[in-house]
Structure 1
Amino acid sequence: MAEIEDLQETYPGAGTFQFGDSAETSAALIDLVRNSNKRATCAPLRDFKDDPDSMPVVGRIDIVADWDGHPTFVVKTVRVDEVRFCDVTENMAKADGFKDLLAWRKSTKASISRGGNHDPAMPMLFEFFSLVEDLDGRQIEEKS
C-alpha cells in the first residue's frame, strides 16, 4: 500500500501489524491507544513460530495499520516480556488497555481460543511500546 511505503521512507525498516482479530476489535484498540489507555499488546508465543521475524524486538519501529490496512500510528517497542498466561500481572493487563486482570484474562482467553487451544501455562509475548507518531490527520502522499 502506498501509504505504508511512504511511511517506510520516514521510518526505514519499520514493520507493520494490526491490533485485534476483527474490524471492531481493531478499531476499539486503536481508540485505546489514541486515549493513552493502551501501551502494550500481547500474543501467544506460538503465533510467531511460522514467522520469527515478526517477533517484537526492543527498539524496533512498527507501523500499526487499521483493519483495512491504513496506517494509524508509528510505535517503538520499549520492552518485551515472555510470561505464562497465568502469570500476567494486573499492571500488564492495564498496559494492554484493560480495566483489570480479570477482564484481560476473559477477553484474551476468548481471543486465543478462536485461534487455537488455550492453556493457562501457555507462553505469551508481551510487547510494551511508546507512541512515536499518531498519523490521524497526517497527509500521506499517494504515489502513482
Structure 2
Amino acid sequence: MVKGEQIQKSVELFWNKFLAETGRNETSKYIDVFHFELTEKLANELLQLVLVGQKKATASSLFAYQIEGARVPEVGDLSIVTDWEGNPKCVIETTAVTIIPYKEITYDICKREGEDDTLESWQRGHERFYKSEGKSLGYEFTEDMPVVFEDFEVVYQII
C-alpha cells in the first residue's frame, strides 16, 4: 500500500471511530484533514498546543482559500488535525469565523491561537508564514490582507 493510501485509510478508520464513540450521525462529514504550519517541527508543536487546550484558534490567508478553490470554514464544521506525517490526532469543531484585515488583529484576538506572548511575536511569525505561503501560492502579503480567523474546540482526540 502506498503511503498516501495508508494515510487515507488511517483517516477513515479514525473518523469512523470518532463517529461511533461520540454518537454522531454516521452521515456526518469532515471538511478538511490538515496539519498546521509549513515545517515538521512547527506542525507537531502546534498540534501539541491544540491537544493540551492551549491553541483554540488559527489564522489563515483568505487569498489561500481563494487560490486553492477551498471554501472558508463555517461554524459547526468538523476537521481532522494530523501530525506532520499525516496521522490523525484530533477532531476540531469550528465555533466562530471572523474575516479581518491583518493590520486590525489585536493581541486579544491573536492570543486565542495560544502560540505567542505578544502581538509583535504573533505578527513576526505570521508575516513569515504568509510571505512563504504567498510565494508558493502566488499571492503577496500586505498589512491589508484579509485573514480568516477561525476559533475551534477539540471535540475528540486520541489519548
TM-score over 0.5 (shorter chain): yes
TM-aligned CA deviation for residue 118 of structure 1? 1.6
Q: 1:19 aligns with which of 20, 36, 49?
A: 36
Report the Cα offset of residue 42 of structure 1: 0.8
Q: Report the count of equivalent residues.
A: 136
Query: 1:74 touches 1:135 (CA, 8 Å); kept in 2?
Result: no
Partner of 2:156: 133
Identify which range, 44-53 or 102-111, moves more after superposition: 44-53
Q: Which residue of 65, 73, 88 corresponds with 1:71?
A: 88
Matched, 1:4 2:11: yes
Q: Paired residue for 2:117? A: 99
Question: Greater relative contact order: 1 or 2 (C-alpha under 8 angstroms, separation 6 or more)?
Answer: 1
Q: Name 1:142's counterpart in structure 2.
A: none
Cα root mean square deviation, aligned: 1.5
Give 5+ residue unaligned stretches, structure 1.
137-144
- 1:56-79, CA deviations, whole angstroms, 9 ceiling, x for partnerless residues? 111011110111110011100000
- In structure 2, what is the equivalent of residue 123 of structure 1? 146
Structure 2 letter corresponding to 1:4: V
Identity %: 25
Amino acid at match of 1:66: D
Return structure 1 stretches of 4+ with deviation > 6 angstroms. Answer: none
| 2:59 counterpart of 1:50 | no
Which residue pairs with 2:55 in the alignment?
Answer: 38
Following the alignment from structure 1 to structure 2, what is the Cα–Cα distance between the partners of residues 6 and 60?
Answer: 19
